Amino acid sequence: MDFEHSARARDYIDRVSRFVRERIVPSEEVYASQLVGSQDYRKWRIPPVIEELKAEAKAAGLWNLFLPDPELGAGLDNRDYAPLAELMGHSPLAPEVFNCNAPDTGNAEVLHQFGSEAQKERWLKPLLDGEIRSGFAMTEPDVASSDATNMEATCKLVGDEVVVDGRKWWTSGAGDPRCGFLIFMGVTSADAGRHERHSMVLVPLDAPGVKIERMVPVFGNLDEPHGHAEISFDNVRLPADHIIGGPGRGFEIAQGRLGPGRIHHCMRAIGMAEVAFERMCRRATSRIAFGKPLANLGGNRAVIAESRMAIDAARLVTLNAAYLLDVHGLAGALSAVSQIKIIAPRMLQQVTDAAIQIHGGQGVADETLARLMATARVLRIADGPDEVHQGVVARIELAAYK
Amino acid sequence: MDFEHSARARDYIDRVSRFVRERIVPSEEVYASQLVGSQDYRKWRIPPVIEELKAEAKAAGLWNLFLPDPELGAGLDNRDYAPLAELMGHSPLAPEVFNCNAPDTGNAEVLHQFGSEAQKERWLKPLLDGEIRSGFAMTEPDVASSDATNMEATCKLVGDEVVVDGRKWWTSGAGDPRCGFLIFMGVTSADAGRHERHSMVLVPLDAPGVKIERMVPVFGNLDEPHGHAEISFDNVRLPADHIIGGPGRGFEIAQGRLGPGRIHHCMRAIGMAEVAFERMCRRATSRIAFGKPLANLGGNRAVIAESRMAIDAARLVTLNAAYLLDVHGLAGALSAVSQIKIIAPRMLQQVTDAAIQIHGGQGVADETLARLMATARVLRIADGPDEVHQGVVARIELAAYK
Amino acid sequence: MDFEHSARARDYIDRVSRFVRERIVPSEEVYASQLVGSQDYRKWRIPPVIEELKAEAKAAGLWNLFLPDPELGAGLDNRDYAPLAELMGHSPLAPEVFNCNAPDTGNAEVLHQFGSEAQKERWLKPLLDGEIRSGFAMTEPDVASSDATNMEATCKLVGDEVVVDGRKWWTSGAGDPRCGFLIFMGVTSADAGRHERHSMVLVPLDAPGVKIERMVPVFGNLDEPHGHAEISFDNVRLPADHIIGGPGRGFEIAQGRLGPGRIHHCMRAIGMAEVAFERMCRRATSRIAFGKPLANLGGNRAVIAESRMAIDAARLVTLNAAYLLDVHGLAGALSAVSQIKIIAPRMLQQVTDAAIQIHGGQGVADETLARLMATARVLRIADGPDEVHQGVVARIELAAYK
Amino acid sequence: MDFEHSARARDYIDRVSRFVRERIVPSEEVYASQLVGSQDYRKWRIPPVIEELKAEAKAAGLWNLFLPDPELGAGLDNRDYAPLAELMGHSPLAPEVFNCNAPDTGNAEVLHQFGSEAQKERWLKPLLDGEIRSGFAMTEPDVASSDATNMEATCKLVGDEVVVDGRKWWTSGAGDPRCGFLIFMGVTSADAGRHERHSMVLVPLDAPGVKIERMVPVFGNLDEPHGHAEISFDNVRLPADHIIGGPGRGFEIAQGRLGPGRIHHCMRAIGMAEVAFERMCRRATSRIAFGKPLANLGGNRAVIAESRMAIDAARLVTLNAAYLLDVHGLAGALSAVSQIKIIAPRMLQQVTDAAIQIHGGQGVADETLARLMATARVLRIADGPDEVHQGVVARIELAAYK
């Protein structure tokens, strides 16, 4: 039993940590000043500073850190990448700067694992080079996506074409001017087995019949210049070779995405919680009321202690899930991955709420805390709401008592 | 012991309820379409529909319902007004339509109770007529306002003038194009007793030296066309008769504002919670997953039950506080008022969070739920954070054990 | 709307309060010294002081206060009796002293409402005179009693006899040497409608075939000299006139018991919470650590405030349920009664837990706090676990959304 | 990073696990039948089965597993011993059977680390041989022990004697007929530095002036045959060589005890939680209500999932604390040790409470669940209440913000 990071991970931790602190965080203001806010996503532009930082990170060898393939990426396993994902939670710009932001990471993994050589050449290469971005079109507005069998969108084979129809939302990143393609998941043959009826299809964003209906607001925010799109697909006809891994493998591919993706999300959430926690401590030690720093008033120290405890526990359970995924695969990590998916976002919500409270009026005005609160709240729903994951954990436990 | 509303209250409940349901809620979309969003508050305009609705409400006798004076207002006590405030929580437009929105209500009460005849004529009359709006400048950005002795802004007497200096924020309503004046609270004589050093001054928004520095965002939202202003006061010289009730009475006046104001806030929060609750129930009964309506899945019924229980308990404790305020005055209601100030916003946050969760992705995209969540979060801080009110409640209890 | 007790209630409150404080609480030590603890319930004896106190209370007119019948009892409605039940929560001896303890109260109400004249003469009279005690045999060890249709015990009509068979537990009071009879609930005709198949039967404790199998411990405590019995009924043959109200009315009678009984339980729980709360405050103000009374350390004041808030809210919701029961009957109070059944025990558990914590080592050694903790924990299960009541509350809410 | 136990630990885990399951748990009933319950501790006797099991465990090499010294004990570090402590939480008999129960373990460590050769020969040897038991007399009834400077008992040097005076309680194990000695902590020189004024003294239980005043009940239970004694020390004169490590080292010695002791407690608590959890799952899958196993009703699966999550998280944080203690020493593990001291007992209380609830009436009658609930509640106070540990955690965090 050894709770230290490997030498390799420690080296990356040092470098990523320094890059985030010295290069990315100080650029946040520039980024904000370059950002053109607009209700109309067609007017969104990428702040130039982000491309500069990307070039810098790439040059520094801090690029595609998420990809376990040592030739195309950093070759890190989940355990070693996890602390880097946490560090990327320290700035909203960081994941993209290191070419490690969702859903591109998941899309890249899917293409890397299941894509044909032609697909890799056309889509994966520019994605890993940071030239294009991508979206993932799975969730549907009209049905409860927590139940995958509800999915209504289709991608049927007609001759040598695949025909994509339906409506998706929460396709994050589809508003990005650089977004090149979507991975679309839909039903290919409704009468196949429950886990064999779906396929994943590569859909260029400019294919005829693809229409961005609107950008979905998150607590009133459009998250420009990336956005979360609601998209309609109307008789979108593509060559059948746009299907990834062949028809009927959608469910299998989706499953493979989930483990690492959830670990990334959770570790970033832990990094975000550290940001909120640091602000809470700064405020608690610098703000005076009733003649004392807030830290010495009432139960504030208990609040700080509970926040630290929640963060540290969330980190340990997430690292353990990463370890299990690396060593025992998704099957062996299934309960652990569902557990962290509940624990980390809830922790982020708790710590951010506490940080807001200790800031008083400044807490609800602060943009960072507002962003963290919204992120926490979204994460308790995205990739399966808490309730679905509780169901998974309970099912695994109760299997022993049949 | 009788938990029914009075006949008079029941009559108003019927009329307000119908007006909200039939006239105001259906106008929300019109309002939204008429609203000009802008980062620059100078461009804000009042949607015409609001003035039409105000005229209608006035004509229907549903006007200034908050004012206990039977000649100038409806003459209702806190008990009878409370359920009307709850109903106004059903639409964000309602408080203004009935000329019952904060901080105008508190400002009107202050002028009504402590203002000179001249002050009433100049400021109270147009306020009660709905012609102008007003702001309340008390909280300061640089000090913890939970401790009133921290206040740094001043309003010193110099000759026959009062000179106002300092910086305030969270002056809600100051961005409204119709805002005519602020009630400013500051220190007049720093060496007077702790509760005799402050004064309240009527400050026209266009007085030389008054400058709106910015509108403070609430979770990223500027709440146009009202706004929460950060305002600097630089050597603002006004005739001394702009002081309300005379110098040194600021603290006393502020205290009087608090009881009713908190009851209004809490009752509106209860109305808002009913809105979230209704949405939760609608979603739970209409959305299907795993072959069942959400209401029949897992612990969702427990969530619904706990929400109902929290709402009903919050209502009862708030009505009891209103009763105590009416019958025993602020001194007799002190603990109860602090209790509801903790209970109602926390309940709104709980119920809204639950409603969001049951909505899944729609929950974080929904504008109403986003607004309710932000309101709940703000209310746990505004008018004294939870911690200050816990301190009040504990102090009153422990006084018996000396 | 009027939150004050009636003049009549206030008079009783004064008298009961004084009697509890001056006569009962000071007798607790005597009672303890007279109590013969034994694992064998046959050796239990009633401490003489209890009969002396009963005589005194009877003489003072503080007797059968629970019974709404003005001739046989005090004639108080639920609203007026509620605060007296709260006061009885201040001492574990009080309910019996005033002849107001469960399950005798419920049994008396059943006999009073549904009993024949002969039944009243034989069972009700001595019960109301305080000469005998009684038990209620409903819950069964082998099936989940939260689902009444699970009930397996039977009371079949055979000729002019009713034959009682089955096993019951949690028959509280059956270990009391004065226990004269049980009200047994069982299935009379399994093929009748779901709510017409049960009957209630008066079973003398010494009827052949009735056997007390054991006294069930509550967190290790037998609660002598009353006890919670597990009882087997083996071919117990009784004249058919021992059925209350006639065959098939068991469910209907059981329903009627529930409303008032739950209000009594909840109000007593509130009284118990006041006992824990008072101890917490005493300890917080008298115990010194790190140079300060505990009340001035960390979050202790917040704990005290939250306890007060929870108690006061629980009282208001319970009084409201009592009011609804009085004015609108059980149907109109159904949700409210289920709500308080969740809220009050949970609150008692919270407040007692907090009181224990603030007492440190003394907290887990203290007999009163141990008793309150056990009572709270039992109440979250007895008379329907929280989960069943959440189900009732949710069902009533969701009925509007069909 | 490696979350697997070492090969050595895995071997012990197998053997201890089997011994607990096959030998100890099946002996619990025999133990209970041999136990003589009595209010008078002088009548307590050790059930013979315990000595038989001890001999068996010793012969199997499962003895003194806690002691890091490879010659006298198993030579395991905290990481490797931790999972064994968890397994010992599966039966209340297990810690003693393996000669690993508190406070003997802490006392043995103190003697092993700080004792003279003579002290080791006289006290440590029979303790490690399982021939005698011991007590630890630190907490005092009249002062808040959470603040060590409150300690009032004294052990003054007079000539070549140490004179022990004062009153202690919560001296667990002092009621055991085999208890041979106590380690007493008191003030030697009140004017020495805050951390140099205390000493630890070896006090034979039969020394003149030592008097057991009573056994302190824990939620009404005396925990025979070990007991938690309140003891008075009246002019107890002992040779000065009964001081451990020399005068003034009491605080230093006490500190050293804390790290491992808390890890043992927390790991046992986790084992206990697994017992409660298993019962909960068994009940949930076997008990039927409303036509379904309880596991399929309402939020029960969420409860089960949350219990599993809380247990697993508590285990990981405790193992991490053990790791830190092994690798970085107490200083490096200080925050982590305080964190687990809060997290593990709270988790045990949560899981046990949930298990009780799902058992319904059986839950409050069950002896095992009652014992676990009491243990959880005690652990939130013993060895420093939650509030003190929150203070430690917060202090360490805030040190960075000065």
Residues B97 and B186 in one domain: no
Neighbour subunits, B (≥3 Cβ pairs < 8 A): A, C, D
Q: Produce one character per residue of D31-67: b if its CB has 16 or more CB atoms within 10 Å, e if not.
A: beeebeeeeebeebebbebbeebbeebbeeebbbbbb
3-state helix, strand, coil in chain A (%, to 5): 55, 15, 30
Last residue of one domain, picked from the residues D199, D222, D244: D244
Residue D23 is classified by DSSP as I
Any domain includes D126: no
Last residue of one domain, picked from the residues B213, B244, B275: B244
Its domain, for residue B110, covers 7-115
Residues D110 and D141 in one domain: no
Chain C hits for D287, Cβ within 8 Å: 144
The residue in chain D having the minimum alpha-carbon distance to the alpha carbon of residue C380 is D357
Residues A311 and A264 in one domain: yes
* ipTM over cut 0.85: yes
Residues of A with CB under 8 A from a CB of C: 298-299, 301-302
User: What confidence tier does B255 reach under pLDDT thresholds 50, 70, 90?
Assistant: confident
Chain B hits for C397, Cβ within 8 Å: 281, 304-305, 308
Any domain includes B1: no
- Mean pLDDT (chain D, rounded): 96
Longest dimension (CA), chain C: 78
| Cis ω before A225 (30° cut-off from 0) | yes
> What distance in Å separates residue D312's CA from the closest CA in chain A?
8
Residues D295 and D396 in one domain: yes
How far is the C-alpha of C364 from the C-alpha of D380, rounded, in Å? Answer: 10
> What distance in Å separates residue B328's CA from the closest CA in chain C?
12
Kindly determine whether residue B302 and residue D301, on different chains, have CB atoms separated by under 8 Å.
Answer: no
Residues D158 and D278 in one domain: no
SS3 assignment for A297-342: CCCHHHHHHHHHHHHHHHHHHHHHHHHHHHHHHHHHHHHHHHHHHH
Lowest mean pLDDT: which of D79-83, D254-258, D392-396?
D254-258
Q: Is the dihedral of CA B45, B49, B55, B58 positive or negative?
A: negative
Any domain includes A285: yes
Q: Is the dihedral of CA A16, A21, A22, A23 positive or negative?
A: positive
Report H helices in D20-155: 28-34, 48-59, 78-88, 94-97, 104-114, 117-119, 125-128
Q: Output the domain CATH number for residue D368.
A: 1.20.140.10
pLDDT of residue B147: 78
- Cross-chain CB nearest to B317 (options C313, C397, C398): C313
Main-chain phi, psi angles of B198, to 5 degrees: -100, 155
Q: Produce one character per residue of C271-288: b if its CB has 16 or more CB atoms within 10 Å, e if not.
A: bbbbbbbebbbebbbebe
Any domain includes B95: yes
Residues D237 and D255 in one domain: no
pLDDT of residue A145: 79
> What distance in Å separates residue B170's CA from the closest CA in chain C?
27
C43, two tokens? 């050796």
Q: Output the domain CATH number for residue C55.
A: 1.10.540.10
Domain count, chain C: 3
Q: Give the global pTM.
A: 0.97
How far is the C-alpha of B288 from the C-alpha of A150, rounded, in Å? Answer: 9
Q: How many CA atoms lie within 13 A of B48 on its CB side?
A: 0
Residues C274 and C395 in one domain: yes
In the predicted model, is pLDDT for residue C146 greater than 80?
no
Give the distance from CA D87 to its chain's centroid: 14
Cα first-last separation, chain B: 33
Residues D25 and D111 in one domain: yes
The closest of C8, C5, C3, C7 to C74, measured between CA atoms, is C8
The closest of D267, D377, D265, D378 to D314, measured between CA atoms, is D267
Kindly determine whether residue A288 and residue B169, on different chains, have CB atoms separated by under 8 Å.
Answer: no
Neighbour subunits, A (≥3 Cβ pairs < 8 A): B, C, D
Any domain includes B293: yes
Q: How many CA atoms lie within 13 A of C300 on its CB side?
A: 30
The C-alpha angle C243, C245, C248, rounded to 5 degrees, equals 75
- State pLDDT tens for residues A39-87: 899 999 999 999 999 999 999 999 999 999 999 999 999 999 999 999 9
D117, two tokens? 């050769």
How far is the C-alpha of A348 from the C-alpha of A6, rounded, in Å? Answer: 26
Which positions ≥6 away from D14 have C-beta within 8 Å?
Answer: none
> What distance in Å separates residue C147's CA from the closest CA in chain D?
6
* Element of type H or E holding D157: strand D154-158
One-character DSSP codes across B340-358: HHHHHHHHHHHHHHHHHHH
Any domain includes A14: yes
Cα first-last separation, chain A: 33
Amino acid identity, residue A221? N
pLDDT of residue B137: 97
Q: Output the domain CATH number for residue B223.
A: 2.40.110.10
In the predicted model, is pLDDT for residue B146 greater than 80?
no
Residues C296 and C389 in one domain: yes
Residues C234 and C306 in one domain: no
Q: Is D166 left (phi over 0), alpha (psi -120 to 50) or beta?
A: left
Kindly determine whether residue B316 and residue C316, on different chains, have CB atoms separated by under 8 Å.
Answer: yes
In the predicted model, is pLDDT for residue B165 greater than 90?
yes
Residues D22 and D106 in one domain: yes
Amino acid identity, residue C209? G
The closest of C22, C28, C35 to C222, measured between CA atoms, is C35
DSSP-derived pairing of the beta strands B179-187 and B133-137 = parallel
Residues A13 and A83: beta-carbon distance below 8 Å? yes
Average pLDDT of the segment spanning C92-104: 97
- Cross-chain CB nearest to B289 (options A146, A170, A370): A146
- State pLDDT tens for residues B295-319: 999 999 999 999 999 999 999 999 9
Residues D263 and D283 in one domain: yes
- State pLDDT tens for residues B176-215: 999 999 999 999 999 999 899 999 999 999 999 999 999 9
In the predicted model, is pLDDT for residue B149 greater than 80?
no
How far is the C-alpha of D162 from the C-alpha of D160, rounded, in Å? Answer: 7
pLDDT of residue B37: 80
3-state helix, strand, coil in chain D (%, to 5): 55, 15, 30
How far is the C-alpha of C364 from the C-alpha of C326, rounded, in Å? Answer: 40
Residues A268 and A82: beta-carbon distance below 8 Å? no
In the predicted model, is pLDDT for residue D145 greater than 90?
no
Residues with pLDDT less than 50, chain A = none
One-character DSSP codes across B96-153: HHTT--TTHHHHHHHHHHH--HHHIIIIIHHHHTTS-EEEEE---TTS-TTSGGG---
Percent of chain B past pLDDT 70, that is, above it, reads: 100
Main-chain phi, psi angles of B5, to 5 degrees: -70, 155
Any domain includes D121: no
pLDDT of residue D117: 97
Q: Is the dihedral of CA B28, B32, B38, B44 positive or negative?
A: negative
Residues C108 and C153: beta-carbon distance below 8 Å? no
- State pLDDT tens for residues D314-370: 999 999 999 999 999 999 999 999 999 999 999 999 999 999 999 999 999 999 999
SS3 assignment for chain C: CECCCCHHHHHHHHHHHHHHHHHHHHHHHHHHHHCCCCCCHHHCCCCHHHHHHHHHHHHCCCCCCCCCCCCCCCCCCHHHHHHHHHHHCCCCCHHHHCCCCCCHHHHHHHHHHHCCHHHHHHHHHHHHCCCCEEEEECCCCCCCCCCHHHCCCEEEEECCEEEEEEEEEEEECCCCCCEEEEEEEEECCCCCCCCCCEEEEEEECCCCCEEEEEECCECCECCCCCCEEEEEEEEEEEEHHHECCCCCCHHHHHHHHHHHHHHHHHHHHHHHHHHHHHHHHHHHHHCEECCEEHHHCCCHHHHHHHHHHHHHHHHHHHHHHHHHHHHHHHHHHHHHHHHHHHHHHHHHHHHHHHHHHHHCHHHHHCHHHHHHHHHHHHHCCCCCCHHHHHHHHHHHHHHHHC
The residue in chain C having the minimum alpha-carbon distance to the alpha carbon of residue A301 is C298
Any domain includes A277: yes
Cα first-last separation, chain D: 33
How far is the C-alpha of A255 from the C-alpha of A245, rounded, in Å? Answer: 14
- State pLDDT tens for residues B327-369: 999 999 999 999 999 999 999 999 999 999 999 999 999 999 9
Q: How far is CA D178 from CA B125, D173, D242, in A?
A: 88, 9, 20
Residues of D with CB under 8 A from a CB of B: 298-299, 301-302
Last residue of one domain, picked from the residues B244, B264, B286: B244
| Cis ω before A103 (30° cut-off from 0) | yes
Q: How far is CA C44 from CA C34, C232, D109, in A?
A: 11, 20, 48
